[in-house]
Structure 1
Amino acid sequence: MKLSIDDDITKEILTEIMVEIIKTRKDLFYDLILEALEEISLGHAIKEGRQDDFVSEEKIFTLLDSED
C-alpha cells in the first residue's frame, strides 16, 4: 500500500506545525529569524564591498609560493 498526501493537506499540516512552534517556542523562532536576517545582511555587505574582479586561485598560489 502506498501512502500519499496531497499538497493542500501538506501545506495545512506544515502551517499548523509552524504556528504551534511560534506559540510554544518563541525563543527558537526568534533565533531562526535573527540568524536568517544576519545571513541576508552579510550577503548584502559582501555584495556592497566587492569592488574588483575575483583573483584566480592560480595567482594566489603563485604569490604564496614566491614569498618562500
Structure 2
Amino acid sequence: MLKTQQIQMNAKVRYYPLLKNKDVFTEHVITSECWEMCGETVVKISGKSGGVSIEHLELI
C-alpha cells in the first residue's frame, strides 16, 4: 500500500482490483497528484478512468 508522500507523477505501480487476491494485478503509471474523495486518498493511473484508491497500489 502506498502512502501519500510516495505518490509521484510517472511512477510505475501495480494496481490490485481486489486487495484479498494479490495474484491479480495490472501495471500502470501514476498520471495525477492525489486527492481526497469520500474519505479515501485517490489518484489517477494510466488506463483507468477516474481515481483509484492508493490502498490498491504498490510501487514497482
What is the TM-score when the length of structure 1 is the normalising length? 0.16
More helix by share: 1
* Greater relative CO, 1 or 2 (CA 8 Å, sep 6+): 2
Higher CA-based Rg: 1
More strand by share: 2
